[in-house]
Amino acid sequence: MGLLDALLGGPKALPVHVDDGNFDDEVLRSDLPVMLDVWGPDCAPCRQMEPVVMRIAGRYQGRVKVAELNAAAAPRTVRRLGVRGTPTLVFYRNRAEIGRVVGYRGEGFLDELFRAELLGGAAERPARG
Catalytic positions, written as ranges: 43, 46
HEC-encoded secondary structure of 59-93: HCCCCCEEEEEECCCCHHHHHHHCCCCCCEEEEEE
Residues sharing a CB contact under 8 Å with residue 105, sequence separation 6 or more, in sequence order:
49, 52, 89
For 35, the enclosing helix (H) or strand (E) is: strand 34-39
Contact 23, 88 (CB under 8 A): no
How long a stretch of residues is the chain? 129
Number of CB atoms found within 10 A of residue 110's CB: 23
